[in-house]
Amino acid sequence: MHPPGADVVVVRHGEIGTKSEHVGTKMERRLRENLDAVLADRGVDAEIEQRRFRLWLHTDDPEGATAAAADTFGVVSASPAVRVDPTIESIREALAEAARQGYDGGAFAVSARRAGVESAHPFSSTDIEREGGSAVWNAAEAAGVDPEVDLDDPDTELFVDCREDDALVFLEKRAGPGGLPLGTQDPVVALLSGGIDSPVAAWELMKRGAPVIPLYVDLGDYGGVDHRARAVSTTETLARYAPTRDVRLRIAPAGDAVADIAEAVDVGRMLVLRRFMFRVAAAVAEERGAVGIVAGESVGQKSSQTTANLAVTSAAVDLPVHRPLLTVDKTEITARADEIGTFHESTIPAGCDRLAPDYPETRGRLGAIREREPAGLSERARAVADRLEVVEGARDGVGDRDPAEGETA
């Protein structure tokens, strides 16, 4: 919610501030470019101004600009604000206006910060809070609201940032994803199954700055049109967070290879299959200059995801397999999927479920699994990776950056 007259959105970032000046400056530039692209992608008109440890968005659409900032990796919070003169009188007036808009009962608090030269104002932040609080109180009473103050746990918080030349009044600090600007790490291949977990895992890597190359392994008769459609639609949602990037889904035509695995392997079948998928992903990574694989596995969630089995599947490739959900419970993963917009409730049985043998292996041993693996799987994985289908049109204005470009801290 924004106060009346808001025409600026204050955007805060976090970890960039811990970097060296050289790296921090580059990351700030990348954040600005990414934010600009998200704004443009959503048709929000805003001009970005670089401030110390902040970006300011000058805009006539404070809600749209705040929502865009809150979906940009690297942003910790965003506040649509009104700017007034740095005097107690102007601040009181703006707070009273803001209260008429955004305070309709419950407990409130005014939180003030003063930045800049100490002697710039003849008042302290405590003065602002006291004077501002009384202005809010009066405005509420005049509007028929029964005001109450709770400084520790308010229902409504009204903020004042008082600086040398102006004061900002705002009603919220909308949380962004945090993390680092997308493109500040080298890319990884994201194995997307169309299920709930893998898009969240991909999003987590994006949040830390790594662009993803989404890859769906088509299981042929064991997969399904709906399964594939879910991978396409979750990729489109992920792409909304990355308009500067090529986030088109790649589909690997693995039906024949999967059918052969299902035919040849019973005990340990899912491990052989996952090892095959990792090999396909590694081949795509090599081709596209990616430096890792991200998967949505979480310890113990499925029989193929026990600690022993994760060791067996990871050993199929030299590239690191990143599993950001490793220790996250399913309820939390589902909530996160809902938040980021990739959650699709579905009763469609996943292809892997249909492939699972009656007695799945829970404690695979690398040597035994290697022996059971049909010969030539690495070559077949490379062949499948050479015949990728790229799903066009997932997003307009697909990014044009080189996926191998990164600027690691």
Which chain residues interact with ligand ATP by CB under 6 A? 191-193, 195-198, 215-217, 219, 277, 295-297, 302, 304, 350-352
Q: Is 57 annotated as a binding residue?
A: no
Whole-number minimum distance, CB 362 to ligand ATP, in Å? 13
CB 93 within 8 A of CB 83: no
> What is the DSSP secondary structure assignment for residue 6, as one 8-state letter?
-
CB 171 within 8 A of CB 96: no
For residues 323, 324, 326, 331, the Cα torsion angle rounded to the nearest 10 degrees is -130
Closer to ligand ATP by CB, 268 or 351: give it.
351
The conformational region for residue 85 under phi > 0 = left, psi -120 to 50 = alpha, else beta, is: beta
CA distance 395 to 238: 10
Whole-number minimum distance, CB 218 to ligand ATP, in Å? 7
CB 340 within 8 A of CB 175: no
Closer to ligand ATP by CB, 160 or 215: give it.
215
Whole-number minimum distance, CB 344 to ligand ATP, in Å? 11
Whole-number minimum distance, CB 265 to ligand ATP, in Å? 16
CA distance 147 to 155: 11
H-assigned helices in 107-224 = 125-142, 197-207
Closer to ligand ATP by CB, 176 or 195: give it.
195
Q: Is 296 annotated as a binding residue?
A: yes
Closer to ligand ATP by CB, 8 or 293: give it.
293
Closer to ligand ATP by CB, 10 or 384: give it.
384
Q: Is 305 annotated as a binding residue?
A: yes
Q: Is 271 annotated as a binding residue?
A: no
Whole-number minimum distance, CB 356 to ligand ATP, in Å? 9
Q: Is 274 annotated as a binding residue?
A: yes
CB 283 within 8 A of CB 381: yes
CA distance 228 to 386: 19
Closer to ligand ATP by CB, 46 or 328: give it.
328
**Residue 236: how many CB atoms within 10 A of its CB?**
19
Residue 389 bridge partners (DSSP): 251
Whole-number minimum distance, CB 409 to ligand ATP, in Å? 26
**Residue 217: how many CB atoms within 10 A of its CB?**
29
Closer to ligand ATP by CB, 95 or 355: give it.
355
CA distance 30 to 180: 10
CA distance 28 to 13: 9
Radius of gyration in angstroms for the set of CA atoms belonging to the chain, rounded to a whole number = 26
Whole-number minimum distance, CB 305 to ligand ATP, in Å? 6
CA distance 73 to 35: 9
For the annotated binding site for ATP, the residues are 191-192, 274, 296, 305
For the annotated binding site, the residues are 191-192, 274, 296, 305
